[in-house]
Amino acid sequence: MKEKITIQKLMITDKFMRQKRLLQDRGELALIEDGKSFRHLGYFSLKKGSGYTRGNHYHLKKTEHFYIISGKLRIQLVDLDTGKKSNVWLQAGHRVEIHPRCAHRFIADEDAQVIEYYDTTYDPEDDLDYVDF
């Protein structure tokens, strides 16, 4: 599964870095990406609750990137090449990259806010439903 998903916890620092979090009394600044091009930027929230999920799909071409703004989430994953299933827990400050042929579904352990971005425009033909988590 390591080749299908990358998770990075952004470092909290006041030093210059291309990806980081800066926590100050006045609020937070998150430098999520610096230098990477993207053509799609979205936001979603997900409430904790029975049956509430987001995702439930996979892609053949697209690599998706996510940044967790707040809350706690679990991602259920299925590597479509090996059939291996796993769960990954995320929280505020995590940056996630999900590669093609990795089915994914988000479930909130706490109400959450997430930024989604990738380097292509949205292609509905590359958004393939998946239910066997």
What's the rounded Cα separation, in Å, for the pair 53 and 83?
Answer: 21
pTM to 2 decimal places: 0.90
Q: How many CB atoms lie within 10 A of CB 22?
A: 16
Closest CA to 106 of 80, 73, 131: 73
What are the structure tokens assigned to 65, written together?
A: 């990137």
The CATH architecture one would assign to domain 5-121 is: Sandwich (2.60)
Per-residue pLDDT at 94: 97
**For residue 17, what pLDDT is reported?**
87
For residue 114, pLDDT beyond 80: yes
pLDDT per position as a tens digit, 56-101: 999 999 999 999 999 999 999 999 999 999 999 999 999 999 999 9
| pLDDT given at position 43 | 96
